[in-house]
Amino acid sequence: MAIKVHKIPPDSMVSDAVTVMLTKGIGSLVVTGSDGPVGIITERDILRKVTGARADPGKVKVKDVMSSPLISIPEETSVGDAAKKMIDNRIKRLGVTDTDGALAGLVTMTDIVGYVAKQEELSDSLIQYLMYEVV
């Protein structure tokens, strides 16, 4: 799980999000408003909704292309339940909340695959999900 969560305000331009992602070497940013997380913007969001639409990233706001809401799990959630939530929601990142409900980090499909691979327990549903994403 990534403990350091990189954030961006919803009214920021997509070009600013791209700059942060490239500088930090990350693939997503949590979009936060005054009341906390309101969504997440990923490389895929930018590719599909900005680049694919031939829009100018300097003129498109993050809030217009982010995925919302940020789907989250409590920090005590098992790896299997986290993977199931990702599969059920067709997402690759989950917010992780602490006991107070505050965002404590992000867990990614890569984190889960790494853990499961170390445990030598790749489940059929995880393999099917990964195979679907390759096609």
Q: Are 94 and 85 in contact (CB under 8 A)?
A: yes
- How many angstroms separate the CA atoms of 50 and 127, rounded? 30
User: pLDDT tens across 4-52, in order?
Assistant: 899 999 999 999 999 999 999 999 999 999 888 999 999 999 999 999 9
Contacts of 92 (CB under 8 A, 6+ apart): 42, 86, 108, 109, 110
Output the pLDDT for position 116.
77
Q: Please provide the CATH number assigned to the domain covering 1-70.
A: 3.10.580.10
pLDDT score recorded for residue 126: 66
In single-letter form, the type of residue at position 47 comes to L
Give yes or no for residue 121 having a pLDDT over 60. no
pLDDT tens digits for 60-70?
999 999 999 99
Residue ranges per structural domain of the chain? 1-70, 71-135
Task: Give pTM, 2 decimals.
Answer: 0.81
CATH 3.10.580.10 fits 71-135, yes or no: yes
Tell me if domain 1-70 and domain 71-135 are identical in fold: yes
How does the average pLDDT of the chain come out, rounded?
89
